[in-house]
Amino acid sequence: MMAHFKLLLLLVPGILGQTHFKKCKTFGSDLCFEAKIKEIVVKMVDKGTNDDVTVTFCSDTDTTQCCTTPALSSLLSDDWSSKDTETWKAKKFGKCKDQVYKIQKEMLVTVAKSGTKDRLQVDLIDIYLVGKNITKPKEKDILERFQCKKFDIGGSKLPTETVKCQTGPYHYQQIEKAIFKIDQDGTDNDVSFKIDSDANNVTCQKQLSRTFSDDWRRNKEEIWLRSDFGDCKSKLYKINTAPAFSIIKTGKDDLKVAASTFYMTRLDNGKTTKYNCGGFEIKGDCNKLICTHKFSSCTKSTVGAGAGVTPKTSTGRVKNAVKAIEAKATTTTTTPATTTKKKGFLSGLLG
């Protein structure tokens, strides 16, 4: 039973807690983590070899952190043979067993063999790493997993090949943008946005409000950029399938939203995933019991690198708000408000 539980932990990286991310450099916003390699699992396909095989591991942030293992072999098994699966523990890595790698999004792994006669085909190398446990420092380290796909060396091909290895089967995402199309009922209550990882216990919640605008107003499109999300903007969310999104509201002023769209950047490939999560409505007294709407039927699509980024400064927002107020002031007809929404700061100045 205990062996089965340990296997489960190995197959589900991050189940024990959070990996400790910090800035890669003193200046800049890129995040990295530091880890040692615990073990690798190698899956061969049709072509194996009896030649000596070494593996070189490199960080993607510092080329001085490369390390090459001794020839990986075992006395009691036919290593690197056709259609075989081999597990190599860190104790087989020589000096590499103590090497610490600073990693941003991928590892560079080179497989090399001594001879040219045999051809070696590797379908997959899974690399399991251990790093600092920030949630429970006295407990075992956290596992991260990188996957290196398709090595084909020797024979008529070169005796060495380097592959970029990325996290898998999970990946990491960061928030880029959220868009809400408010329906006929806006609110003056506090509204917060929450993201939960589906692969570990990373979660973050941020109230969405601005000082110089009238937020969550009826018939308005709210665009919240990465800079609006406070500490949540810098968190990396480990994702197997999709993050969980929620809206939390206090107070008694109802809110109805026609459409909700969230953009998240994938760390492994730099592409943007768009989540269309539809509309929602929060009604009733949310003072006695805070009201939460958890999105459960989002559809996702890949929309390209940086597609969710909207270059807009706070100055630009103020200018747009002023234009909207000026346009409203020149309109000859008005529509009665259906909520008790108070005027924003600029609205108060301009009457």
Q: Which ranges in the chain belong to alpha helices (H)?
A: 2-11, 314-329, 345-350
**Do residues 177 and 159 share a domain?**
no
Is the separation of the CB atoms in 146 and 105 below 8 Å? no
What's the one-letter identity of residue 58? Answer: C
What is the rounded average pLDDT of the residues 306-311? Answer: 57
**Do residues 143 and 123 share a domain?**
yes
End-to-end Cα separation, the chain, in angstroms: 71
Contacts 24+ apart (CB under 8 A), 60-66: 60/103, 60/104, 60/105, 60/106, 60/107, 60/108, 60/164, 61/24, 61/32, 61/102, 61/103, 61/104, 62/102, 65/99, 65/100, 65/101, 65/102, 66/108
Q: In the 8-state DSSP scheme, what is residue 117?
A: S
Share of residues in the chain with pLDDT > 70 (%): 78
Q: What is the pLDDT of residue 336?
A: 35
The pTM of the full predicted model, rounded to 2 decimals, is: 0.76
Q: Is 282 exposed, middle or buried (0-12, 13-18, 19+ CB in 10 A)?
A: buried
What is the maximal distance between C-alpha atoms in the chain? 89
**Do residues 180 and 279 share a domain?**
yes
**Do residues 201 and 130 share a domain?**
no
Read off the CATH number of the domain in which 292 is found.
2.60.60.20
What is the rounded average pLDDT of the residues 248-268? Answer: 96
Q: What is the pLDDT of residue 325?
A: 37
**Do residues 197 and 281 share a domain?**
yes
Q: Tell me which of 167, 185, 209 is where a domain ends.
A: 167
Q: What is the pLDDT of residue 331?
A: 37
Lowest-pLDDT range of 67-76, 295-304, 311-320: 311-320
**Do residues 124 and 266 share a domain?**
no
Contacts of 187 (CB under 8 A, 6+ apart): 216, 249, 251, 253, 254, 255, 339, 341
**Do residues 216 and 335 share a domain?**
yes
- The tens digit of pLDDT for each residue in 113-171 reads 998 788 999 999 999 999 876 666 666 677 899 999 999 999 889 999 999 999 999 99
**Do residues 115 and 178 share a domain?**
no
What is the rounded average pLDDT of the residues 298-327? Answer: 58
pLDDT averaged over every residue in the chain: 83
- The tens digit of pLDDT for each residue in 7-20 reads 334 444 444 457 88
**Do residues 158 and 280 share a domain?**
no
Secondary structure of 49-93 in HEC code, one letter for each residue: CCCCEEEEEEECCCHHHCEECCCCCCCCCCCCCCCCEEEEEHHHC
Is the separation of the CB atoms in 203 and 194 below 8 Å? yes
Separation in Å, CA 169 to CA 13, 126, 266, 268: 9, 10, 13, 11
Q: What is the pLDDT of residue 212?
A: 74
Question: What is the extent of the structural domain holding 152?
Answer: 17-167
Q: Cis check for the bond before 169: say yes or no (omega within 30 of 0).
A: yes
**Do residues 232 and 291 share a domain?**
yes
Q: What is the pLDDT of residue 307?
A: 62
Q: What is the pLDDT of residue 25?
A: 86
**Do residues 280 and 326 share a domain?**
yes
Please tell me the total count of domains within the chain. 2
User: How far is Cα 153 from Cα 112, in angstroms, rounded to an integer?
Assistant: 8
**Do residues 189 and 161 share a domain?**
no
Please report whether residue 7 resides in a domain. no
Please report whether residue 299 resides in a domain. yes
